Structure 1
């Protein structure tokens, strides 16, 4: 018996939940979830939802009124990129976003709720971000928060919570408590506890004691909607609520229970991993996108809304740009596999040590841009930062280094986009993806088209700016196996003439209810 099987033995089996039941309940309420995503990888579990990289009231009004397949979206993602900010900056950004979302909701006549999307490996500004959202709601609306529901589980990526303890599945089918992984040693967001109640106590500096945390274990979640709601009847004063989840049906069962708790009057905020929103709005898993879907359905300059069916006549046949900034071990192995499977790709490395020296920095960026631009004329280009991680014992200095490196990558991408046609862009790593999207490609509004791999790796369709219509792939540093990056590149680098020679075209049906 595996460790996971032994841990699950005391609990009931998962209960099948039809997501259409959740979607109908969500539609009846008519509330839109505003998801404050601390890096853009949170969109990898959803499809057909708007994404904002800016948060003025007008941006929210666009998102609230935008139609995808003729319908308003039940959730809107806002790319906050707060995982790259210091605590004071993250707090202010959360406050500004919630304030503007509330103003736009009032102007648009819609009701909104809030989700703080964090990392499935527990990194990020917690409890600062949900605390800030709750405080802003109190200041602006006079409404108190009864509970903060914490659900880091991401079954598609092998992150599961059993008995209140958060685990990562390893490549051999075993489980490792999250505090025993490299993610817990993060220079900025490190931690020592794998039990979520203990994690809450640790990250709050003891302000939120483990003994006061409500646990929704698998017995409760698989026991039915009323049991979940009953556990929350007494929730008050933004009490932390941690939830088990091992399967998508666990997340869906939890969603129904939370919906019932809110129907009974509980006011909840959410601090969650990527797949929670999919379950909470009743969206089915979307099949991985095919090259035909991506390039035949992309926005063509001058066309209508996202999802237009005219093929991209201006899409170059070659010239994909893969930008790799993440330094976790998995990303490095994926980069090695990509180079092995795509030997014709031009590899350009941006040496981090040169970026920390103001004298060398501009010359390094210019030389890198020239190499990338030249390479795109021949095929795919892999732009990576050097693999030796430069870090500091000071968390704020580590963030500063990360920002300096990311700014240089942004400068290269922006200059490249102005100089050469690009067929697609992949950004590997959370901070890298965020900065490439908002600043390198100038994306302000986009639509999540769907995943590139089962349940992970998101493809956005920019609907404005210089990257309009260019497929942009957000690839987290900590998901997939060693071959996943190469698999995504293989899909995107298929030549359009070869695709159109295949007949008839068969686009998988969109699976959102």
Structure 2
């Protein structure tokens, strides 16, 4: 651990996002570590991993906006880095605008260059409108999230009271690097304060052009996992640190905390015998399910994967919310208790039977899972199951050295969870 300067610091508002965006650098061979559990006290970051690329999970997506901005600013000021990358959710949930503004001020960059598109995951932007699988963002399920976007327009989402927000069209982006660079320079020169510049992007090539153009300025990059794959790394040798995780003996343990439509559809593809559905109402009042942990450990002991979840369909989710509200709990508290219960149950499984690897989907349950294992840091291997689903190893805690795969709730094909289980079973050739 050290207080050294990093080539890139990625600041993200949830764990799965920190992982998939940091992977954009690990995949190019740069040594990459993720501070997975929020540092809490800024002083903890003085003992951060000594890696060229550092991802920091602030876990602020559902925090009060002003408090979230303060945390982001503190991380940017505390961690010295040649380049700061402010990761935002590819569906723009969370305190997106105010966290970007805080990072821009703290980094003292010339501008914030914003491109949240992630074409490999179905996220694109055209004419300033952000789309998910071809649907305008404000018409998707993500708009119903408690911190969901209220508009599909990037200029609305990144609107600021005291700095300009400008837009670069797809025509300019597709004209090439020089045109984008000229547009960025003009935007900087037009304003007294560093502006926020949002960009259209529909392809990987578009993102590469945008990232390349940003290199001519002191740029705060703002995006999801897609843009990160193309941001140049200053102050580090060419990447040579890819180290695919060696899967251990046994079978994998999965913890499914996301209840997005995408994840629920993926869960349907998992063999029924592997799915251990805990009683969500019990998790509202009990720290863990002993019965669920025992069943999962028995499956692992027999050489079979185990998948812990608290819901396999939308009806269960809605029923759990009603039960929680009847007990006087708000939605945020309900979610936290379910995530904590799943995580504690998984830790109990590991006490009984070591898995070959761990899989978490859903940022809240992933953080809760690592906390329950006394783990704070993940080292990324540079490998991935598929786009947006990176592979790492726990660097500390009771399961140190165990391979870990994380997936954002809205990412992946219908076979994503099955594929992750296969990878962690050793089928990763």
| Fold match by TM threshold 0.5 | yes
1:77 aligns with 2:29: no
Aligned to 2:202: 246
2:391 aligns to what? 459
The alpha-carbon distance between structure 1 residues 180 and 208, as it changes in their structure 2 partners (threshold 3 A), is: farther
Would you say the 8 A contact 2:255–2:343 is kept in 1?
A: no
Alpha-carbon distance between aligned partners in 2 of 1:324 and 1:422, rounded to the nearest angstrom? 16
In the other structure, the counterpart of 1:117 is 87
2:14 maps to which of 30, 39, 42: 39
CA radius of gyration, larger in: 1
Deviations 1:411-465 (A, max 9, x none): 222222233211111001122223223x133322222123433322111112222
Aligned mate of 2:280, from 332, 352, 357: 352
The 3 A distance-change label for structure 1 pair 215 and 134 is closer
Q: What secondary structure is seen at the aligned counterpart in 2 of 1:327?
A: coil
Is contact 2:62-2:147 (8 Å) kept?
no
Per-residue deviation, 1:371: 2.8
User: Does residue 383 of structure 1 match 2:341?
Assistant: no
CA contact (8 A) 2:212 2:230 kept: no
User: Quick check: 1:493 aligned with 2:425?
Assistant: yes
- The residue correspondences of 1:342-491 to structure 2 (distance < 5 A) are 343-345=272-274, 347-356=275-284, 358=285, 361-362=286-287, 365-378=289-302, 379-386=304-311, 387=313, 388-389=316-317, 390-391=320-321, 397-437=330-370, 439-491=371-423
Secondary structure at the residue paired with 2:276?
A: strand
1:203-254 deviation digits (Å, cap 9, x = unpaired): x6xx379xx5311222222323332222122424242211111222211111
CA distance in 1, matches of 2:222, 2:321: 28
Q: Deviations over 1:283-312 (max 9, x none)?
A: 9xx9xx9xx9532xx6xxxxxxxxxxxxxx
Deviation of 1:133 after TM superposition, in Å, equals: 2.4
Alignment of 1:273 onto 2:190: no
Residues 226 and 332 (structure 1), Cα distance of their counterparts in 2 relative to 1, 3 Å cut: same
- Quickly say closer, same or farther: Cα 1:87–1:402, change in 2 above 3 A: farther
**1:281 alignment partner, SS class:** coil
Find the aligned partners of 1:294 and 1:114 in 2 and give their Cα distance.
Answer: 27
Match in the other structure for 1:12: none
Call closer, same or farther: CA 1:200–1:123 in 2, change over 3 Å.
same
Residues 298-356 of structure 1: per-residue CA shift (max 9 Å, x gap)? 6xxxxxxxxxxxxxxxx32x3311100111111111101012xxx552x2222222233
Give unpaired runs (5+ residues) of structure 2.
Answer: none
CA contact (8 A) 2:77 2:106 kept: yes
* Counterparts of residues 91-490 of structure 1 (less than 5 Å): 91-101=69-79, 105=80, 111-137=81-107, 143=108, 145-169=109-133, 175-186=134-145, 188-201=146-159, 207=161, 212-233=164-185, 234-235=187-188, 236=191, 237-260=193-216, 262=217, 267-281=218-232, 293-295=244-246, 315-316=248-249, 318-339=250-271, 343-345=272-274, 347-356=275-284, 358=285, 361-362=286-287, 365-378=289-302, 379-386=304-311, 387=313, 388-389=316-317, 390-391=320-321, 397-437=330-370, 439-490=371-422
Q: Flag structure 1 segments of 5+ consecutive residues without an equivalent.
A: 1-29, 67-72, 106-110, 138-142, 170-174, 299-314, 500-506, 508-513
Going from structure 1 to structure 2, the CA distance change for 1:157 and 1:490 (only over 3 Å counts) comes to same
The TM-score, its normalising length taken from structure 1, stands at 0.70
Looking at structure 1, the residues matched to 67 and 414 of structure 2 have their Cα atoms a distance apart, in angstroms, of 35
Residue 59 of structure 1, CA deviation = 4.5
Deviations 1:36-57 (A, max 9, x none): 1212223325225211125455
Rounded Cα–Cα distance in structure 2 between residues aligned with 1:452 and 1:225:
29
Write the distance in 2 (CA, Å) between the matches of 1:112 and 1:442. 30
Q: CA deviation at 1:373?
A: 2.6
Change in Cα spacing, 1:31 to 1:354, as seen in structure 2 (3 Å) is closer
Q: Which runs of 4+ in 1 moved over 6 A?
A: none
The CA deviation at 1:176 is 1.3
Q: What is the CA-CA distance between 1:192 and the residue it aligns to?
A: 3.3
Name the stretch that deviates more: 421-430 or 215-224. 215-224
Contact kept in structure 1, 2:257 and 2:309, CA below 8 Å: yes
Q: How far does the alpha carbon of each residue in 1:86-106 deviate from its partner, in whole angstroms, 9 at most, with x for none? A: 4354234324322331xxx3x
- Please tell me whether the aligned partners of residues 86 and 399 of structure 1 are also in contact (alpha carbons under 8 angstroms): no
Separation in 2, partners of 1:92, 1:417: 36
- Whether contact under 8 Å (1:151, 1:272) holds in the other structure is yes
Within 1, Cα distance between the matches of 2:62 and 2:301? 33
Alignment check: 8 A CA contact 1:84 1:403 kept = no
- CA distance, structure 2, for counterparts of residue 338 and residue 451 of structure 1: 23
When normalised by structure 2's length, the TM-score is 0.82
